[in-house]
Chains A and B, each alone.
Chain A
Amino acid sequence: MSITVNQWQKWQKSSLSLICGICSCLLLVAVWEWVGSDPINPITQVLPPPSKFVPVLFESDFKIGLGSQSSTIYQSVFVTLLRVFAGMTIAFVAAIFCGMLISLSEWSELFILPILGLIAPIAPIAWVPLALVVFGISNLTAIFIVFMGVFFTLTIATVAEIKRIPENLLITARNLAGSRFNIWRMVVMPAVLPSVFTLLRLNFIAAWMAVLAAEMTGLRDGLGAVVMTGRNLFNSNLILLGICIIGITGFAVDRLLLLIQRRFFWWRV
Chain B
Amino acid sequence: MEGLGQVELPILSCQNLCKSFPGNQKQEKLVLANINLAVPKGSFVTILGQSGGGKSTLLKLLGGFLPPSSGRVFFDGQPLTQITPKIGMVFQDHNLYPWMTVEQNIGFGFKIRGDKPGTYQHLVHEILDTVGLSQSRKLYPHQLSGGMRQRVAIARSVVVKPEVLLLDEPFSALDVQLRRRLQDFLLTLWKEMHITMVLVTHNVEEAILLGQKLIVVGNQPGQIIEEVVISEPQYGDRYHPDFLQLQRHLESLLDSNLIDPVQAKPLPISNGKAIS
Contact = CB atoms under 8 A, between A and B. Distances in A.
B206 to A, nearest CB: 22
B83 A267 contact: no
B91 interface: yes
Contacts of A268: 98
Contacts of A178: 112-113
Interface residues on A, range: 20 to 34
A171 B99 CA distance: 17
Contacts of A269: 98
A166 B87 CA distance: 21
Contacts of A182: 112-114
Interface in B101-128: 108-109, 111-114
Interface residues on B, range: 20 to 34
Among A166, A176, A178, A186, the most chain B Cβ lie within 10 Å of the Cβ of: A176
A178 to B, nearest CB: 4
Given A166-B95, A190-B99, A175 B114 contact: no
Contact of A173 (B87, B88, B112, B142): B112
Contacts of A119: none
A67 B113 CA distance: 63
Contacts of B109: 176-177
Nearest to A182: B112
Given A173-B112, A176-B112, A176-B160, A168 B98 contact: no
Nearest to B166: A175
B89 interface: yes
Among B83, B95, B114, the most chain A Cβ lie within 10 Å of the Cβ of: B95
Interface string B65-95: 1000000000000000001010111010101
Interface string A88-121: 0000000000000000000000000000000000
User: Which secondary structure dominates where chain A touches chain B?
Assistant: helix
Contacts of B114: 179, 182
A190 B96 CA distance: 13
Nearest to A168: B95
Interface in A229-269: 267-269
A175 B64 CA distance: 10
A187 B113 contact: no
A174 interface: yes
Contact of A175 (B89, B93, B99): B89
A172 interface: yes
A173 B65 CA distance: 12
A160 interface: no
Interface in A161-193: 166, 168-169, 171-179, 182-183, 186-187, 190
A171 B83 contact: yes
B164 to A, nearest CB: 12
B97 interface: yes
Contacts of B140: 267
Interface of A: 166, 168-169, 171-179, 182-183, 186-187, 190, 267-269
21 contacts: A168-B93, A168-B95, A171-B89, A172-B89, A173-B112, A174-B83, A175-B65, A175-B85, A175-B87, A175-B89, A176-B108, A176-B112, A176-B113, A176-B156, A178-B112, A179-B114, A186-B108, A187-B112, A190-B97, A267-B99, A267-B142
Pick the 5 closest A-B CB pairs, nearest first. A178-B112, A176-B109, A177-B85, A267-B98, A267-B99
